[in-house]
């Protein structure tokens, strides 16, 4: 099972990229990048932005089965996850909590890349769960 | 057994010993005399144990150890020895021994008269009374002392292994001593001489004294059993452990990788120091330090930001963006360890967990000045301790405290620590109360509330952060109140412009005004986080005088609308006219300068305009949504309203 998690800042640059190393890594990044447009679309529709929003892009390739999920926080920080299983709600919640912990750190400048080991651990944990 | 009955007694009036003293002395004497044969490390003095006549003598080895155990500086001990023993026979007869003990007690009482007493060669009777406690310190758990006295011999060697022997010895002895309750604050295994070893590598020699009182607590636990005198035993244990710490000090260099978690244990001294630092940041020890305050403080330690970030991550257990006292101690400890070359652990060591720290250390309610002196000496030897700067001034006063013994020898620290430890032990009982406070405080809601006072406090810290602040305080994006604070901060530099009064309640902050790109970078996150405030501020301010540094206009935009707007408009008009008048009569140079400034200002303003326009559109959208919602709600209301019958 392959998986990729990307945290994107409000200005649409990545704060944190992590993926299980496969040959599809680059493709994952590309998909995440293209999914940003979808995110903007949905946000522009004026719906509630705080809740979890799911972008289901379906099968891109017949050989693969993974979906891209998106989640946006109130500060317009996006978590995009490429995964081939469900239960994303929980994962996003955890991600959000971890992200909040990172933000709590006064030494963390919002907009920096996320280098928190705790965050890494959370992501790793989730990857292990999924895979 | 009076001294007069002793053999080989020199010319000196008979010593008057109370019963207790006699008992103690005789015990000690017997111990010193008796352990000679059994002590492995007694060494040469056995030969010196020539006992002409009736009385036995105490071998110089154990006696010397005993004297050293009295925590007196070596020169004092030399004087004592000289006075009581060496001048007379070449050995320690009971007379000499008792005299020496009394002198030691006098010295331990801190009597400045001590030198006089030496000169008099005669401890006055009153000394005996007051010294009784001091005597007890040494005398009471005599056997304990005897065993402990041998320990230093083992540890004197510069071999970390000896430390192991130390502990083994201690542990083997413990059964005989029937160890009872270990110090209330620490689990038995906590007593590790090795802590000091680990630290000895970390810290300067003076700092190694910090483990000492902590070690003092360990043997305390073991000696509880046999010791008859409670209070007396404590100083004794201190002494004994301090002896060990002495030797530890000497061996310092070895990295104590033997003991994995040793560097992460906070000694009593360190703990006190941390608490003092905490107090300097936050007077209430049961409250917490906000993230920004802590950030400024820890940044002074000159560690890199990622490392500090990681340390914070480790220590802020509840991830609330603030540090309680135990969290602060843990963080401080990690910083200290890191500065001393220790790699940061993967996870928070168990000895640094907040619960552990709360339970381990009682709240210090007593005089911290005592430990300020330690921090001073600590910092004196270790330049990276920038954190000590604050304490140094107060410390210098305290340096007078251990008046005659203020050298960098362990003896001084011992003496100081002994008095300190006494007070410390009193506070053990207060621990549960404070622990409760901490736990209750910890149950704060997760979202931090950045009170404006904390921000002001942080800003009033005075010192500029080491790096020019490209961004305002890191705050949560959740609470709207945060944005207000952020709004306040960047507007401070506008003070320099002279056009705008500083924001109320905030002192003028010397802002690097030339940080153009920085301000732009700030612009974005600030705008992103404070769309409401920014939108409210009037764009009209941007026409502000051009001569100002470019960052000012952007900052000014965030100011709370009302005051700044009013203040600015008239002043803007005034300066605008003044500015127009200026270029004409002045030289071309000035005008070109002004032109450049104007152009940069214009550029800045345009950019700000663009951002604001975007914000505006977003807000408009939100407004639309809200309108729609309102319409929908009104419709519902209409439907639900009972139909009025006409």
Condensed to tens digits (0 to 9), the pLDDT of residues B537-558 reads: 444 444 444 444 444 444 444 4
Question: Which DSSP helix (H) or strand (E) runs through B101?
Answer: helix B94-108
Q: Which of B309, B517, B530 to mutate to test the interface with A (most CBs of A within 10 A)?
A: B309
Interface of B with A in 306-335 (CB under 8 A): 306, 308-310, 312-313, 316, 319-321
Assess whether pLDDT exceeds 90 at residue A100: no
Confidence of residue B450 (pLDDT cuts 50, 70, 90): very low
Inform me whether the C-beta atom of residue A76 falls under 8 Å from chain B C-beta atoms. Answer: yes
Mean pLDDT of the region B314-320: 79
Averaged pLDDT score across all residues of chain B: 58
Residue with the bigger pLDDT between B237 and B328: it is: B328
pLDDT band at B625 (very low <50, low <70, confident <90, very high): very high
> Which comes out higher in pLDDT, residue B601 or A27?
B601
> What does the pLDDT read at residue B165?
46
Higher pLDDT, A116 or B119: A116
Q: Identify which has the larger pLDDT, B106 or B388.
A: B106
Q: List CB contacts (< 8 A) between B309 and chain A.
A: 105, 107-108, 115-116
**Res B438: pLDDT:** 41
Instruction: Give the span between the Cα atoms of B287 and B324, in whole angstroms.
Output: 6
For residue B40, the number of C-alpha atoms closer than 13 Å in the C-beta half-sphere is: 11
Fold assignment, A2-128: Beta-Lactamase (3.30.450)
The confidence score (pLDDT) of residue B276 equals 85
Q: What stretch of H or E contains A17?
A: strand A14-19
Residue B602 has pLDDT above 90, yes or no: yes
Is residue A37 predicted with pLDDT exceeding 70?
Answer: yes
pLDDT digit string (tens) for B478-504? 544 444 544 445 444 444 444 444 445
Q: How close is the nearest chain A Cα to the Cα of B275, in Å?
A: 21
In the stretch 46-65 of chain A, residues with CB closer than 8 A to chain B read 46
Inter-chain CB pairs, A–B, below 8 Å: 69
Structural contact between residues B269 and B209, judged by C-beta atoms closer than 8 angstroms: yes
Q: Inform me whether the C-beta atom of residue A12 falls under 8 Å from chain B C-beta atoms.
A: no
Question: In chain A, which residues have their Cβ closer than 8 Å to the Cβ of B478?
Answer: 74
pLDDT at B386 over 80: no
Tell me if the pTM is above 0.95.
Answer: no
At A68, is the secondary structure helix, strand, or coil? strand
Question: Which residues, including other chains, have CB under 8 Å from residue B177's CB and lie 6 or more apart?
Answer: B143, B144, B147, B222, B223, B225, B226
With vertex at residue B467, the alpha carbon angle to CA B463 and CA B471, rounded to the nearest 5 degrees, is 100
- Residue B229, pLDDT > 90, answer no
| pLDDT tens column, B20-68 | 777 777 887 787 776 544 444 444 444 444 444 445 566 667 777 777 7
At B117, the pLDDT band (50, 70, 90 cuts) reads low
Mean pLDDT of A22-42: 76
Tens digit of each residue's pLDDT (9 = 90 or more) over B398-443:
444 444 444 444 444 444 444 444 444 444 444 444 444 444 444 4
Report d(CA B448, CA B207) in Å as an integer: 36
B472 vs B279, residue with greater confidence: B279
What span, in angstroms and rounded, lies between the C-alpha atoms of A43 and A53? 10
B295 interface with A at CB cutoff 8 Å: yes
pLDDT at B330 over 70: yes
Using an 8 Å CB-CB cutoff, list chain B residues near A109: 471, 474
What pLDDT score does B618 carry?
Answer: 94
Helices B211-223, B268-281: crossing angle, 10 deg rounding: 130
List CB contacts of B231: < 8 A, sequence separation 6 or more: B133, B136, B422
Nearest residue in chain A measured CA to CA from B531: A75
CA B585 – CA B569 distance, rounded (Å):
25
CA–CA separation, A13 vs B550, rounded Å? 27
Best residue in B344, B466, B474, B628 to probe A by mutation, most A CBs within 10 Å? Answer: B474
Ordered by start, the domain boundaries in chain A are 2-128
> Contact B471/A101, CB-based, under 8 Å?
no
Tell if the CB–CB gap between B524 and A103 is shorter than 8 Å: no
CB A105 to CB B625 under 8 A? no
Closest CA to B217 of B267, B265, B174: B267
Residue B523 sits at the chain A interface (C-beta within 8 Å): no
Nearest CB neighbour to A106, from listed B312, B446, B624 = B312
Best mutation target, B446, B472, B477, to test chain A (most A CBs within 10 A): B477
Q: Is any Cβ of chain B less than 8 angstroms from the Cβ of A105?
A: yes
Predicted confidence (pLDDT) per residue in B335-353, tens digit: 888 888 888 787 777 777 7
Span B285-310, pLDDT tens digits: 777 788 788 888 888 888 888 888 88
Q: Which residue has the higher pLDDT, B252 or A48?
A: A48
The predicted model gives B584-593 an average pLDDT of 74
Sequence-ordered alpha helix ranges (H) in B267-348: 268-281, 291-299, 305-315, 325-339
How far is B327 from chain A, CA to nearest CA, in Å? 13
Interchain proximity A111–B525, CB inside 8 Å: yes
Beta carbons within 8 Å of B137's beta carbon, 6+ residues apart: B70, B105, B108, B232, B235, B236, B239
Q: Dig out the tokens for B443 from the structure.
A: 């149950």
Per CB-CB distance under 8 Å, the chain B contacts of A100 are 319, 446
pLDDT computed for residue B606 by the predictor: 94
| CB pair distance less than 8 Å for B305 and A107 | yes
What distance in Å separates residue A8's CA from the closest CA in chain B?
14
Which of B501, B561, B495 lies closest to B532, judged by CA?
A: B561
Chain B residue with minimum CA distance to A114 = B306
* A15-24, A96-105, B167-176: least confident range: B167-176
Optimal mutation site among A41, A104, A119, A125, interface B, most CBs of chain B within 10 A: A104
* Cross-strand pairs, B323: B289
Between positions 193 and 252 of B, the ones with CB within 8 A of A are none
The C-alpha of B492 sits at a distance from chain A's nearest C-alpha, in angstroms, of 20
> Above 80 in pLDDT, residue B120?
no
Q: How close is the nearest chain B Cα to the Cα of A42, in Å?
A: 14
| ipTM metric | 0.78
């Amino acid at each position: 099972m392959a998986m990729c998690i990307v945290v994107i800042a409000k200005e649409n640059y990545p704060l944190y990229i992590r993926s299980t190393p496969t040959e599809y890594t680059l493709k994952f990044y590309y998909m995440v990048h293209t999914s940003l447009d979808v995110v903007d679309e949905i946000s522009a529709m004026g719906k509630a932005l705080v809740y979890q929003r799911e972008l289901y892009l379906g099968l891109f390739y017949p050989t693969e089965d993974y979906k891209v999920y998106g989640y946006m926080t109130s500060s317009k920080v996006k978590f995009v996850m490429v995964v081939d299983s469900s239960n994303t709600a929980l994962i996003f919640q955890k991600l959000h909590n971890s992200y909040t912990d990172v933000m709590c750190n006064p030494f963390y400048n919002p907009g920096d890349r996320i280098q928190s080991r705790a965050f890494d651990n959370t992501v790793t944990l989730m990857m292990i769960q999924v895979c | 057994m009076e001294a007069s009955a002793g053999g080989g007694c020199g010319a000196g009036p008979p010593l008057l010993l109370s019963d207790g003293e006699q008992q103690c002395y005789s015990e000690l004497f017997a111990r010193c005399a008796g352990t000679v044969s059994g002590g492995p490390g007694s060494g040469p003095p056995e030969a010196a144990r020539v006992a002409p006549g009736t009385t036995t003598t105490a071998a110089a080895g154990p006696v010397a150890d005993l004297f050293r155990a009295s925590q007196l500086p070596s020169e004092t001990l030399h004087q004592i020895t000289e006075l009581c023993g060496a001048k007379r026979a070449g050995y320690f007869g009971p007379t000499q021994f008792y005299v020496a003990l009394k002198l030691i007690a006098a010295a331990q009482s801190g009597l400045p008269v001590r030198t006089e007493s030496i000169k008099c060669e005669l401890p006055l009777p009153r000394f005996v009374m007051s010294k009784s406690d001091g005597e007890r310190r040494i005398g009471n758990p005599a056997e304990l002392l005897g065993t402990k006295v041998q320990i230093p011999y083992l540890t004197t060697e510069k071999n970390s292994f000896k430390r192991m022997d130390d502990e083994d010895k201690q542990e083997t002895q413990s059964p005989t001593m029937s160890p009872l309750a270990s110090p209330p604050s620490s689990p038995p295994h906590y007593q590790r001489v090795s802590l000091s070893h680990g630290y000895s590598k970390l810290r300067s020699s003076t700092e190694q004294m910090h483990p000492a009182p902590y070690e003092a607590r360990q043997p305390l636990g073991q000696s509880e059993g046999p010791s008859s005198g409670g209070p007396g035993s404590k100083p004794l244990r201190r002494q004994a452990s301090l002896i060990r710490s002495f030797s530890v000090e000497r061996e310092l260099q070895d990295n104590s990788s033997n003991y994995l978690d040793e560097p992460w244990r906070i000694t009593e001294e360190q703990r006190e120091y941390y608490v003092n630092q905490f107090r300097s940041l936050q007077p209430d020890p049961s409250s917490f330090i906000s993230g920004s305050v802590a950030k400024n403080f820890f940044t002074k330690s000159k560690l890199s930001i990622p490392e500090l970030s990681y340390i914070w991550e480790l220590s802020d257990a509840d991830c609330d963006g603030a540090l309680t006292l135990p969290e602060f101690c843990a963080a401080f400890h990690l910083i200290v360890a890191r500065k001393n070359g220790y790699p940061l652990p993967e996870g928070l060591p168990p000895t640094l967990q907040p619960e552990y720290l709360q339970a381990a250390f009682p709240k210090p309610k007593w005089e911290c000045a005592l430990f300020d002196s330690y921090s001073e000496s600590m910092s004196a030897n270790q330049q990276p301790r920038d954190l000590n700067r604050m304490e140094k001034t107060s410390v210098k006063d305290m340096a007078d405290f251990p008046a005659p013994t203020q050298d960098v020898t362990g003896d001084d620290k011992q003496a100081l620590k002994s008095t300190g430890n006494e007070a410390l032990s009193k506070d053990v009982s207060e621990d549960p109360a404070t622990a409760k406070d901490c736990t209750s405080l910890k149950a704060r809601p997760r979202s931090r509330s950045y009170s404006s006072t904390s921000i002001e406090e942080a800003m009033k810290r005075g010192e500029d952060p080491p790096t020019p602040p490209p961004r305002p305080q890191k705050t949560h994006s959740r609470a709207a109140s945060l944005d207000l604070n952020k709004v306040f901060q960047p507007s401070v530099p506008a003070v320099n412009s002279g056009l705008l009064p500083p924001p109320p309640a905030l002192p003028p902050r010397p802002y690097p005004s030339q940080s153009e790109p920085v301000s732009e970078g700030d612009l974005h996150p600030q705008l992103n986080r404070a769309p409401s405030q920014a939108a409210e501020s009037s764009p009209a301010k941007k026409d502000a005088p051009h001569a100002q540094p470019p960052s000012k206009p952007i900052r000014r935009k965030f100011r709370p609308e009302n005051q700044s707007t009013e203040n600015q408009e008239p002043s803007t008009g005034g300066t605008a006219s003044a500015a127009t008048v200026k270029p004409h009569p002045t030289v071309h140079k000035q005008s070109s300068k002004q032109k450049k400034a104007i152009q940069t200002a214009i550029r800045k303003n345009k950019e700000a305009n663009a951002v604001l326009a975007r914000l505006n559109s977003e807000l408009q959208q939100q407004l639309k949504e809200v309108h729609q919602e309102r319409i929908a709600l009104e419709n519902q209301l209409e439907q639900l309203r009972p139909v009025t019958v006409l």
